[in-house]
Amino acid sequence: MNYLSLDDARTTQLAERLDGVRRRIAAARPAADAAEPTLIVVTKFHPGTDVQRLRLLGVADVGENRDQEAAAKAAEVADPDLRWHFIGQLQSNKAKSVARYAHSVHSIDRPSLAKALDRAMVAEQQESARAKLRCYIQLDLSGAYPELAAPAGSGRGGLAPSSMMGLAERIGASEALELAGVMAVAPLGVDPEPAFELLAALSGQLVGEHPEAKWISAGMSHDLETALAYGATHLRVGSDILGPRPAVL
């Protein structure tokens, strides 16, 4: 694939949308002296050529939520400077595949998955000088909405906050995983503010025991401003940059 041939109308469109999101981030940053958040561009359902276009535009972090799709794209794009962030529900039997290309996994929600990823990363490290896999604990924030009868967060994934510390211990004690922090998706159809406020509090608890685990992966196309107000360090933005995704099959 010749990168220069990708300097086309789609690249111009992506450049404009990326610029729009970057301006929203700049406007919403709580303080000019706060560290600049990392923008992860979520490329799920969009082709590898779009990842290459984003590369051309200076994007270094991309997010995917399905192993099969991510593995194929990572092989197609084959760019060692691109960081692949795995952000979706993950079965333990996919750990070996994900460890091959992922820089970070944002969706660790149980000890058995941490164990499988650790084993897979140890094997990877025996073959290449790979850094540890950065791991975020995905939390279920539906508890921030006690007034809702049916937990709004059900189906969005994540671990009960009361189990966070136990999983952090497990990741901290692993050989090839590095505890990066917390991740969450705000419940659908409600004001995201209580969710991100709870996430910030949980992050504070985690950092109290694991000072290095200070990252907060939160904020998507529609709620990145609120996430930034509550300390998000890593934003995962898809549709506002790439456009609508095709309907899920």
Ligand X SMILES: *Cc1c(COP(=O)(O)O)cnc(C)c1O
Provide the binding-site residues for ligand X, judged by CB under 6 A: 42, 44, 65, 87-88, 185, 220-221, 236-240
Output the smallest distance, CB 220 to ligand X, in A: 4
Q: Which is nearer to ligand X, 161 or 238 (CB)?
A: 238
Output the smallest distance, CB 209 to ligand X, in A: 25
* Neighbouring C-beta atoms of residue 22, cutoff 10 Å: 14
Q: Which is nearer to ligand X, 26 or 188 (CB)?
A: 188
What is the rounded CA–CA span in Å between residue 141 and residue 192?
Answer: 10
Output the smallest distance, CB 107 to ligand X, in A: 7
37, 60, 89, 138, 153 from 145: Cα distances, Å: 27, 35, 23, 18, 9
Q: Which is nearer to ligand X, 52 or 65 (CB)?
A: 65
10, 53, 73, 176 from 14: Cα distances, Å: 6, 8, 18, 36
Residue number, nearest CB to ligand X? 238
Q: Which is nearer to ligand X, 88 or 161 (CB)?
A: 88
Q: Which residue has the tokens 């092989």?
A: 75
Nearest Cα to Cα of residue 116 among 184, 67, 174: 174
Q: Which is nearer to ligand X, 176 or 187 (CB)?
A: 187
Output the smallest distance, CB 214 to ligand X, in A: 20
* Neighbouring C-beta atoms of residue 43, cutoff 10 Å: 24
